[in-house]
Amino acid sequence: MVYFEMVKTALKTVLSKPATILYPVQAAKKTPISRGHVVQDGSKCISCSICVKKCPAQAIVLDKEAKTWQINRFRCVVCNSCVDTCPAKCLSMDTQYTAPATVKGIETFTITYVKPAKPEKKEEPKT
Amino acid sequence: MTKQIIVPFGPQHPVLPEPIHIDLVLEDERVVDAIPSIGYIHRGFEKLVEKREFTEYVYIAERTCGICSFIHGATYCQGIEQIMNIDVPERAQYLRVIWSEFSRLHSHLLWLGLFADAFGFENLFMGAWKTREKVLDFMEETTGGRVIQGTSKVGGVRRDISSERLDRMTKDLDDLDREMKELTDVFLHDDSVRHRLRNVGTISRNDAYHLGAVGPTARGSGVAIDLRKSGYGAYDRLNVQVVTDSCGDCYSRCAVRAKELFTSTDLIRQAVKKIPEGPIDVKVTGAPDGEYFMRAEQPRGELVHYLKGNGSKFLVRSRIRTPTLTNIPPLIKMLQGCELADVPVIVLSIDPCISCTER
Amino acid sequence: MTMDKQTITAIEVGKLIGSVERFRNEGYRLVQIGCTKVGDLYEINYCFDKDYHLDVVRIAIPAETEVPSISGMYWNAFIYENEMHDLFGIQVRGMNIDFKGTLIRTAEKFPFSKPPVTVTKGGKP
């Protein structure tokens, strides 16, 4: 017959520091590889639309004409799939979680990447 | 004859946040029959397989459950690997074991906390979740996600754990063991806990087996079914101990889970000792053509992923049979003949995960 | 990888009860009943397990064929049979607990009996 088995643990908890942190005064803990939200670097994006195809939540829309890359943060499940498959390495995972919002919106990034004129460079050594 | 009345239990009930509805047929305070109904949150994941490539479906399979997500993802991947005859590198298999066992720790600690809450031991609930936080921290540190790990992929794993981290693991596990010992001592030895749970919701060994109980629900009744024993992944190279208890009541199911915490840390220690250096994934080409019933042990019991491909990028069928679905018939058997006041404890004792069940 | 062995046997609907009875007598437990739509036929897999060996009995039926319930031998079969009825629209005869289509309430009736979604090259269905 054992009673009050919990007392020892309870006393220890009372006398030690709180296990929780004072969020938001104190920042939430995160690690260098925490999956927070996806960020796109418009200067590197080659508009290949692989991320659009590989997105399991269909959160990404790429418009080649308008040169925009859009992500619906409320659809995105932060699975890292697009970051893994991006051939140009223009997508990265930020450790900060998406801020809370009152309306569902779409975040738009502009693609500023200009295709370098490669063929001309090739011709130069020949001549 | 006493007049029979029907009392609805759920779909919203303080004891569990998930929507399961049970119609309890009562005679005075005694439950004579229970009729379950689910289907409040059916999400149609299985149909989604026709629209997503098999390599992307991992992310969806993983999100079937918010607690044992890693094992869902890994089981799906193992099923596909089995159909396509992919030899997964040793290191990846061991990493899967490590993460799977950490998910089990996380799930069992979560459940122990909720269970303590259900029988009215608030302090113990907080204690269990405090310990669980350490497991989640490890998850986030190695995979980037606290709950949805997302590290399994067809052909291996997506992230490696550095050898320095693995070396430090043994010390971390010792600390965790010490903390869990303190916690489980309360569950196993405290008389107020025992008094509340002994002889509540008893199910015999025979009933548990024939009604298809799996996991701790079966093992609590003395049925030694543990799919890890069948040796999928790297489990065939590890010494898996099956914890059983013979009484078949709520206390037994609680004791099985409490003791399984230590078999999980033991398995992680073994895996850390044996893990070889090497690549963590292989390149996957082609598409699955064939079918396989992949079975794995989840914290709640046996999980079945039935996968069928026809040689295209899109699978024809994925059927996920989660442990809670098969634990519902034994639950009904347990409820028959119990007191109304015990119903919440009994329902929680099978560790119901309704979101899992409804895919 | 060493994996558990599994055998799949295709049988006719008429022989279902007989072979399930044999499993029951040999002490197998029911793992699951799952349905798959293949073309116009519905494949129903009855999975049984004993000592980590999976035995699968398969029947293939057209939509209008009635399937006899095995809930007489395996009491827990009702949950799968009701699911099969609610999602695929398969008629099961003689279930011990018949929910009559209310176990899983779906907005669309029998969603899994609809033809599979074909995906075009652009990734859009």
Q: What is the mean pLDDT of residues C93-118?
A: 74
Domain count, chain B: 1
Task: Please give the CATH superfamily to which domain C6-113 belongs.
Answer: NADH:ubiquinone oxidoreductase Nqo5 subunit (3.30.460.80)
Residue A33 contacts B where some CB pair is shorter than 8 Å: yes
The rounded average pLDDT for each run of 10 residues, N- to C-terminus, in chain B (359 residues) is: 82 80 86 83 78 83 83 89 86 89 90 87 86 88 84 85 83 88 86 84 86 87 85 83 86 89 90 86 82 86 87 83 87 86 86 79
* CA-angle at C24, arms to C18 and C27, nearest 5°: 145
What's the CATH architecture for A21-115? 2-Layer Sandwich (3.30)
Q: Would the pLDDT of C97 be above 50?
A: yes
Nearest residue, CB atoms, C2 vs list B211, B231, B328: B231
> Could you write out the DSSP letters of every residue in C36-101?
EEETTEEEEEEEEEETTEEEEEEEEEETT--EE--TTT-TTHHHHHHHHHHHH---EES-SS--SS
pLDDT of residue A118: 65
Quote the CA–CA distance of B115 and B103 in Å, as a whole number. Answer: 18
pLDDT of residue A3: 74
Residue B29 contacts A where some CB pair is shorter than 8 Å: no
More confident residue, C119 or A50: A50
ipTM: 0.81
Average pLDDT, chain A: 80
Q: Across B51-196, where does the E strand assignment appear?
A: 152-153, 156-157
Quote the CA–CA distance of A124 and B263 in Å, as a whole number. Answer: 68
Contact indicator for B84, B286 with CB cutoff of 8 Å: yes
Q: What residue ranges do the domains of chain A occupy? A: 21-115
Q: Give tens-digit pLDDT for A20-30.
A: 888 888 888 88
pLDDT of residue B1: 64
DSSP 8-state code for residue B162: -
List the structure tokens of B258: 């409490």
pLDDT of residue B183: 86
Nearest residue, CB atoms, A80 vs list B52, B53, B150: B150
- By C-alpha distance, the chain B residue nearest C75 is B211
Q: Would the pLDDT of C123 be above 50?
A: no
Q: Which domain, by its residues, includes B260?
A: 4-357
Q: Would the pLDDT of A124 be above 70?
A: no
List the structure tokens of B207: 């009933």
CB contact under 8 A, B186 and A5: yes
Cα B6 to the center of its chain, rounded Å: 32
Listed in sequence order, the residues at least 6 apart from B214 whose beta carbon sits closer than 8 Å to its beta carbon are B225, B300, B301, B302, B323, B326, B327
Contacts of B42 in chain C (CB under 8 A): 104-106
Residue B145 contacts A where some CB pair is shorter than 8 Å: yes
* CA-angle at B164, arms to B160 and B170, nearest 5°: 100
pLDDT-based confidence at residue C2 (cuts at 50, 70, 90): very low
Quote the CA–CA distance of C75 and C58 in Å, as a whole number. Answer: 20
- By C-alpha distance, the chain B residue nearest A77 is B59
Nearest residue, CB atoms, A6 vs list B124, B150, B158: B124
Residue A36 contacts B where some CB pair is shorter than 8 Å: no
State the sign of the Cα–Cα–Cα–Cα dihedral B132, B133, B136, B141: negative
Residue of B56, B105, B106 whose CA lies nearest to B76: B56
Quote the CA–CA distance of B224 and C73 in Å, as a whole number. Answer: 22
Quote the CA–CA distance of C77 and A65 in Å, as a whole number. Answer: 56
Q: Which residues of A57-66 are buried (b: 16+ CB within 10 A; e: fewer)?
A: bbbbebeeee
Contacts of B145 in chain A (CB under 8 A): 34-35, 78
For residue C2, the cross-strand partners are none
Chain B, chain C: beta-carbon pairs less than 8 Å apart: 104
CB contact under 8 A, A5 and B52: no
Phi-psi region of B318 (alpha: psi -120 to 50; beta: other; left: phi over 0): beta
Quote the CA–CA distance of B345 and B325 in Å, as a whole number. Answer: 18
pLDDT of residue C5: 65
CB contact under 8 A, A30 and B130: no
Q: What is the mean pLDDT of residues A2-30?
A: 82
More confident residue, B169 or A115: B169
Q: Which chains touch B (3 or more CB pairs under 8 A)?
A: A, C
pLDDT of residue B301: 86
Q: What is the mean pLDDT of residues C83-104?
A: 79
Q: Which chains touch A (3 or more CB pairs under 8 A)?
A: B
Please state the φ and ψ torsions of residue A106, each to the nearest 5 degrees: -110, 130
Quote the CA–CA distance of B58 and B80 in Å, as a whole number. Answer: 10
Residue B81 contacts C where some CB pair is shorter than 8 Å: yes
> Helix (H, G, I), strand (E, B), or coil: what is residue B317?
strand
Distances (CA, A) of A26 to A16, A20, C27: 19, 10, 59
Contact indicator for C96, C72 with CB cutoff of 8 Å: yes
Quote the CA–CA distance of A88 and A53 in Å, as a whole number. Answer: 15
CB contact under 8 A, B59 and A30: no
CB contact under 8 A, B185 and A79: no
CB contact under 8 A, C52 and B227: yes
> Could you write out the DSSP letters of every residue in B239-289?
-PPPP--SS-SHHHHHHHHHHHHHHHHHHHHHHHHHPPPS-SB----S--E
CB contact under 8 A, C103 and B232: no
